Amino acid sequence: MANLRDIKQRITSVSNTRQITRTMEMVATAKIKKAQERIESARPYALAMVEVLGNVARFVQGASHPLLEEHDERKRVVVVTVTSDRGMCGAFNSNILRLTEEIISRESGAGVQTDVIAVGKKALSYLRYRGIEPIGAYRDISDKPTFADARSIAGQIIPGYSEGSIDAAYVVFNRFKNVAEQKAEVYQLLPIESRVMEAAEDDLRITPEYVFEPTAEAVLERLLPTYVETLIFRGLMESAASEQGARRTAMKSATDNAGEMITTLTRSYNRARQAAITNEIAEIVGGAAALEES
Amino acid sequence: MARTLLCEIVTPERIVYTNEVEMVIAPTVEGEVGILPLHVPLVTVLKAGELRVRYNDGKDVEWFAVSGGYMQVHEDKVIILAENAAVASQIDVERARQARDLYAQRMAELKEQSAAQAECDACEIDLRWFEAQVKVAETRS
C-alpha cells in the first residue's frame, strides 16, 4: 500500500507545478496579443513598400539588379533559422530545426555548402550540439525583434549574394496562422523571386507617370535590400507571436494534465487513508476481542 | 481652407504620423524638396535629416527626425517610408547625443581597423540617424 505521506507530497508538488504552468499560460496569452498587434502595426510599412516596389518595377522594366538575378551555379546557400530563446513551447523549435536539417541534408546531398544563421538560443545550442557552427548568432531578440535586428541579419547575406559568394538564402520560421496554430515554413529571401515584382505590378490599376529621384535604377537599388530586410523582420515577428501561441497551447495541456493527475492522486490518497482506518479498526476490534476472551 | 495632402510617416514598427497637411518638406539624397498639393507623382530616396510638415493654414509646423528611407507622392498622398522616425518634441536629446558619440567613436575605430565595408555602412546608418535626432531636437524644441 502506498505511503500516505508520499502521496500527499506528490499532490503538493504536482499542484505547485500546475500553478506555474497556469501562470505561464496566462502570461503567454497576454503576450500573444501584444505580438499580434506588432505584426498588425508593421503591415502599413510592408504594404507601402510593395506598392513603391511595384511602381519602380513597372518603370524599369526588365530591371537587372544583382539581387534579382539567379546565379547559374549553386555552391553555397544560407539558411536563417528562427527559433525561440526559451523552451516550454511544445514542438515549436523542433519543427523549425527539423526543417532546417532537411534543407541542409538536401543541399549537401547536391554538393552545396550550407551555412546557417541562428536566431534564438535554441537553434544555437542545437546546431552546436550537432557540430554545425552557425555563421551568425542572434540571442535574446526572439521576444521583441526590432528592425535593426532584421537589418543586421540581412547585412550578413546581401553583400555575399551581390559578390557571388552566396547563391541563395532562405528563412525558416513559424508562421502565425492563429492563436492555436503555427506552421513551420521556408521562405526564399534571395534571389528575390521575379513573381514578387510581377505581383506588385499587377496590383496597380492606375498607372500614373512617376518621377524618380535620383533615377528609377537608384531607387530600385536602395529598395531591394530594404525589401529583404522587411521579409526577415516579418519572419522574426511572426515567430515571436507563434512562440507565445505555442507556449500557451503547451502550458494549457500541461495544466490540464496536472489537474488530472491531482484527481487520481487524491483518489488513491483517500483510498489509502480509508484502508489505514479500516486496518486500525480491525486491530482495535481484534485487541478488544482478545481482552474479553482472557 | 487650402487644399491639403495626406501625409503618412510609417516605419517598420508603427505608423508615426498621419495628418492632412499643406506642405511636406523632406530631406532627399539630392537636397530638400517641398511637396505641395497637386505635385506630380514622385518616388524618391530620403537621407537622414529633418522632415517638417505645415498645416492649419501654415500656422503650425511639426518637425520630425527621420533616418533614410523613401517617399512616394501620388494624388495628394505622401507616404514616407523611413526606417526610423521621431517627433522632435519626443526625442530624448541626452540619450541621442550619447548614442551619437558612441557611434562616432565606433565609426572611427572601424575606419582605423579598416573593417569590412558592410560593417562600416551599418554603423554609418546608425550614426546619421542619431545625428539627425540631435540636430532636430536642438533646433526645434
pLDDT tens, A9-41?
A: 999 999 999 999 999 999 999 999 999 999 988
Q: Please check whether residues B73 and B122 belong to one and the same domain.
A: no
Secondary structure letter of residue B75 according to DSSP: T
Q: Please check whether residues B26 and B81 belong to one and the same domain.
A: yes
Q: How far is B125 from chain A (nearest CA, A)?
A: 10
Q: Please check whether residues B37 and B57 belong to one and the same domain.
A: yes
Is there a cis peptide before residue A44, judged by omega within 30 degrees of 0?
A: no
Phi, psi at A21, each rounded to 5°: -65, -35
Q: Please check whether residues B98 and B69 belong to one and the same domain.
A: no
Q: Please check whether residues B13 and B62 belong to one and the same domain.
A: yes
pLDDT digits (tens, 9 = 90+) for A62-82: 667 888 888 888 899 999 999
- Annotated active-site residue in A67, A77, A79, A89: A89
Cell numbers that stand for A142 in this block: 526572439
Question: Over the range A93-118, which residues count as b (16 or more CB within 10 Å of their CB) and which as e?
Answer: bebbbebbbebbeebeeeebebbbbb
Q: Please check whether residues B77 and B104 belong to one and the same domain.
A: no
For the cut 60, the answer to whether the pLDDT of residue A203 exceeds it is no
Q: Please check whether residues B79 and B96 belong to one and the same domain.
A: no
Please say which residue of B67, B88, B109 terminates a domain: B88
Question: Is A89 one of the annotated active-site residues of the chain?
Answer: yes
Q: Where are the beta strands (DSSP E) in B57-101?
A: 60-66, 69-74, 77-82, 85-87
Estimate the crossing angle of helix A216-293 against helix A4-59, to 10 degrees: 170
What pLDDT does A63 receive?
A: 61
Q: Please check whether residues B59 and B23 belong to one and the same domain.
A: yes
Q: Please check whether residues B46 and B70 belong to one and the same domain.
A: yes
Which residue in B10, B42, B81 is closest to A213 by CB distance?
B42
What pLDDT does A197 receive?
A: 67
Nearest CA in chain A to B75: A208
> Are the Cβ atoms of A233 and B12 closer than 8 angstroms?
yes
Please name the residue that has the C-alpha cell 550614426. Answer: B127
Note whether A116 and A127 are within 8 A (CB): yes
For the cut 70, the answer to whether the pLDDT of residue A198 exceeds it is no
Give the pLDDT band (50/70/90) at residue A53: confident
Q: Tell me the pairing of strands A113-119 and A76-82.
A: parallel
Give the pLDDT band (50/70/90) at residue A208: low
Instruction: Give the C-alpha separation, B28 to A248, whole Å.
Output: 46
What pLDDT does A206 receive?
A: 54
Please say which residue of B72, B88, B104 terminates a domain: B88
Please name the residue that has the C-alpha cell 553555397. Answer: A76
Cell numbers that stand for A145 in this block: 525583434
How many other CB atoms are there within 10 angstroms of residue B17's CB atom?
A: 17
What pLDDT does B1 receive?
A: 58
Domain A34-249 sits in CATH 3.40.1380.10: yes
Nearest CA in chain B to A59: B43
> Are the Cβ atoms of A219 and B43 closer than 8 angstroms?
yes
Give the pLDDT band (50/70/90) at residue B46: very high
For the cut 80, the answer to whether the pLDDT of residue A169 exceeds it is yes
Q: What is the ipTM of this complex?
A: 0.83
Q: Please check whether residues B105 and B56 belong to one and the same domain.
A: no
> Are the Cβ atoms of A56 and B8 closer than 8 angstroms?
no
What pLDDT does A270 receive?
A: 94
Give the pLDDT band (50/70/90) at residue A248: very high
Q: Please check whether residues B135 and B112 belong to one and the same domain.
A: yes
In total, chain A counts a number of residues equal to: 294
Domain that holds residue B116: 92-140
For the cut 70, the answer to whether the pLDDT of residue A2 exceeds it is no
> Which residue out of B35, B40, B42, B43 would a mutagenesis test of the A interface target, given it has the greatest number of A Cβ atoms within 10 Å?
B43
> Are the Cβ atoms of A208 and B41 closer than 8 angstroms?
yes
Number of domains composing chain B: 2
What 3-state class would DSSP assign to B42?
A: strand
Nearest CA in chain A to B79: A48
B46-to-A160, B18, B69 alpha-carbon distances in Å:
25, 18, 5
What pLDDT does B107 receive?
A: 87
What pLDDT does A228 receive?
A: 92
For the cut 70, the answer to whether the pLDDT of residue A98 exceeds it is yes
For the cut 60, the answer to whether the pLDDT of residue B42 exceeds it is yes
Give the pLDDT band (50/70/90) at residue B139: confident
Please name the residue that has the C-alpha cell 557552427. Answer: A133
Nearest CA in chain B to A152: B122
Q: Please check whether residues B103 and B136 belong to one and the same domain.
A: yes
For the cut 60, the answer to whether the pLDDT of residue A1 exceeds it is no
Cell numbers that stand for A92 in this block: 515549436
Q: Quick one: CA torsion of A187, A195, A36, A18, rounded to 10 degrees?
A: -30
Lowest mean pLDDT among A40-54, A124-138, B55-69, B105-119: B105-119
Which residue in B29, B40, B43 is closest to A55 by CB distance?
B43
pLDDT digits (tens, 9 = 90+) for B57-95: 878 899 999 998 999 998 889 999 998 899 988 888 888
Give Cα A273 to chain centroid, integer Å: 47
What pLDDT does A59 receive?
A: 74
Across the A:B interface, residue pairs with CB atoms under 8 Å apart total 93
Q: Give burial (CB, 10 Å; 0-12/13-18/19+) of A66.
A: middle
For the cut 90, the answer to whether the pLDDT of residue B118 exceeds it is no
Residue B12, domain CATH: 2.60.15.10
Up-side HSE of residue A254: CA atoms within 13 Å toward CB? 22
